[in-house]
Structure 1
Amino acid sequence: MHSKLVKLSAPFIWLFIVGLTVTFGSVAFVQSHKDSKGISFGLYSSKTLLVPESTYSTDKTDPRVLKIEKIFDKFHCPLAGYGDVIVAKADEHQIPYWVVPAVSFQESSCGKRTPKPAGIDESYNAWGYGVWGGNVKTFANWEAGITAVTKYFSTNFFAEGVTDFCEMMKTYTPPSKGSWCEGVNYFANMIDNFETE
């Protein structure tokens, strides 16, 4: 019976030895292997993905700028002419280019209905940012407003992993009960899917 046990266990011992050889051989290979660019990597780990720099320029020929400008022109928005600023700030703060224009459509019909506190002709606040009760946050010009709002959405939502407008609404405009996020989602889709030709 002892000889039968030895005969039955021999293949398993052989498999164990082969397994160890392959494992340690792989480890040795992994530690010394470099890809074609000279970057070392491990067999059981993925190479670090590097996000390439944007291929877009933020000038008037950037397709994102063209989309925003065409939509602003179509709807006669006071923010027309600021598409390049919107895209540049979105890139700088790493948020989607359509966030700030979509919020402006929802909050003020893209700048047509901005809050105007007593004694001020224009608040340059198309986003409802810092507006509650009798309080109205004003900006010196559209660019200052775009900059502040883009930074706010980046810092308070996108940098924290919050990309759903219905989640943002809970902080940005709690009394909306869903209408704000539905509107912003609608305008975001309209902007992102707009055909410029």
Structure 2
Amino acid sequence: MKMPKTLLLAIVFMLTVIINSILIYGFYINYEFHKSQQNILADLDKIDIAAGDGKNIQPPLVTSSDSIDSEVKLVDGRSANLKRYLRSINSPLFEYTDVLIEEADEKGYDYKLLVAIALQESTGCKKIPPDSYNCWGWGIYGDKITRFSSYEEGIRIVSDGIKRNYIDKGLVTTEDIMRKYTPGSNGSWAWAVRFFFQRIESF
């Protein structure tokens, strides 16, 4: 049975409309994805750990005693916000936010530093050597793996190492720390750490 010409034209027209719609939708999705990526890159360019005015200035990660005193009153708020963020990404560190903040205040550095390093090094302790509790890539060189007995021990040992080997030696920006912490990095390490600072602050 021969199909009527008008019906054939109608089918061709409908198929053309459907195909065009699919193509347009595909272009739209691709455009939105590209736009999202550009926005992320733009945000990263603006990241400033200590809210400095200079776009390319890297403020120090150390904190003065005055700022610590003023922030102690907000420790519960900092801990609660950090805990919410770490829970949202399923990081086991969410149980240790009080320890992280206590160590940072005691040693005089920004409380987000160890968390940001852990996020960069191990996706927040989710990708670490078995039974190592080492979220920071601390003392890991090839087959050599530094292991801790718990996350809390890891936090305290790494915090002490950051204080003695970096802060006390004047290495107080992400770029300074990167040059010693991971000397082979092309800058992406410091960039990522600053990115995670911003993510925590804006959560």
Global fold match (TM > 0.5): yes
Q: Is the 8 A contact 2:68 2:105 kept in 1?
A: no
Q: Within 1, Cα distance between the matches of 2:65 and 2:180?
A: 32
Alpha-carbon shift at residue 55 of structure 1 (Å): 4.0
Measure, in 2, the Cα distance between the counterparts of 1:57 and 1:184: 24
Alignment check: 8 A CA contact 1:68 1:83 kept: yes
**Bigger relative contact order, structure 1 or 2 (CA pairs below 8 A, ≥6 apart):** 2
CA distance in 2, matches of 1:63, 1:126: 24
Displacement of 1:56 in angstroms is 4.4
Which residue pairs with 2:69 in the alignment? 54
What's the counterpart of residue 142 of structure 2?
A: 133
1:184 pairs with one of 190, 193, 197 = 193
Return the index of the structure with the highest Cα Rg: 1
- Provide the C-alpha distance between the structure 2 equivalents of 1:91 and 1:53, rounded to a whole number of angstroms: 6
Could you tell me which residue of structure 2 aligns to residue 33 of structure 1?
Answer: none
Q: Which residue of 1 aligns with 2:202?
A: 193
Q: 2 CA distance for matches of 1:50 and 1:89?
A: 14
Amino acid at match of 1:162: L
Equivalent pairs, count: 140
Q: Distance in 1 between matches of 2:133 and 2:143?
A: 16
Q: Deviations over 1:91-132 (max 9, x none)?
A: 11111100000000000000000123xxxxx20000000011
User: In 2, distance between residues paired with 1:68 and 1:134?
Assistant: 33
Paired residue for 2:83?
69
Runs of 4+ in 1 over 6 A off after TM superposition: none
The answer for the alignment partner of 1:115 in structure 2 is: 129
In 2, Cα distance between equivalents of 1:52 and 1:80: 24
| Percent identical residues | 31
Unaligned runs of 5+ in 2: 1-63
Residues of 1 paired with 2:156 and 2:97: CA distance? 12
Structure 1: runs of 5 or more not aligned: 1-48, 117-121
Distance 1:178 1:132 in 2: 20
CA contact (8 A) 2:134 2:147 kept: yes
Q: Deviations over 1:7-45 (max 9, x none)?
A: xxxxxxxxxxxxxxxxxxxxxxxxxxxxxxxxxxxxxxx
Q: TM-score, normalised by structure 2?
A: 0.63
Normalized per residue, which structure has more helix? Answer: 2
Which amino acid letter does the alignment assign opposite residue 186 of structure 1? F
User: 2:71 matched to 1:80?
Assistant: no
1:174 to 168, 183, 193: 183
TM-score of the two chains, using structure 1 as the length reference: 0.65
Residues 135, 58 of structure 1: CA spacing in aligned structure 2 closer, same or farther, 3 A cutoff?
A: farther
